[in-house]
Amino acid sequence: MNARRLAKASEAVREAVSSAILFDLKDPRVQNVTVLQAVVAPDMRTAKIYVSVMGDAKKQSLCMHGLESARGFIQSRIADRIDTRYTPVIRFILDQGVKKSAEATRLIRESLGAGAEPDALQPIDDVLSTETEEAFDDPVGSEDSSADERPASRPESA
């Protein structure tokens, strides 16, 4: 299967799983779940579903058990939604990326501001504009800058 068809199939599976979890699943253990990505195998027989669960480790574990117990139901929703020869057997994988990025942001804020409010920190646009202004204050070889300002000419085709 080519890459484009595989990407479309992965996206269709992701949409089917996320809508099944959001609208059809009535398990009280499954809460605060975000379906991040679906990776379908080239033969369309298996799929890895990457999910993010907000909460502590106990809530995440409970939610993952709920998703595993509802796996057959979710696979039936995938079969109803997409028309393929095989319905992929899904496996849920807990992705810690969102939680780790929030923790990294918190640590950066603490180290920069020593507990300062987010408004007290310098916005990233100000930092970038200051760095770029400093880089262009003293350009190397700027004696004849008029030649550098002209755009490169394109060769004319006949």
Q: 134 versus 63: which is more confidently predicted? A: 63
Alpha-carbon torsion angle 126, 127, 130, 136, nearest 10: -120
- Distance of alpha carbon 38 from alpha carbon 13, whole angstroms: 7
- List, as one string, the DSSP characters of 69-81: HTHHHHHHHHHHH
Which tens digit of pLDDT belongs to each residue from 45-91?
999 999 999 889 999 999 999 999 999 999 999 999 999 899 999 99
CATH 3.30.300.20 correct for 3-100: yes
Residue 128 has a pLDDT of 47
Can you give the residue ranges of every domain in the chain? 3-100
Strands 89-94 and 46-53: parallel
What local confidence, expressed as pLDDT, does residue 125 receive? 52
| Percent of the chain whose predicted confidence (pLDDT) is above 70 | 72
Question: For position 65, what pLDDT does the model report?
Answer: 97
Q: Given this model, what pLDDT does residue 126 score?
A: 54
**In whole numbers, what is the pLDDT of the chain averaged over residues?**
82
Structure tokens at 96: 């810690």
Q: Tell me which residue has tokens 């004319």.
A: 156
Mean pLDDT of 123-130: 50
- Main-chain phi, psi angles of 122, to 5 degrees: -75, 130
What the block records as the tokens of 151 is 């755009």
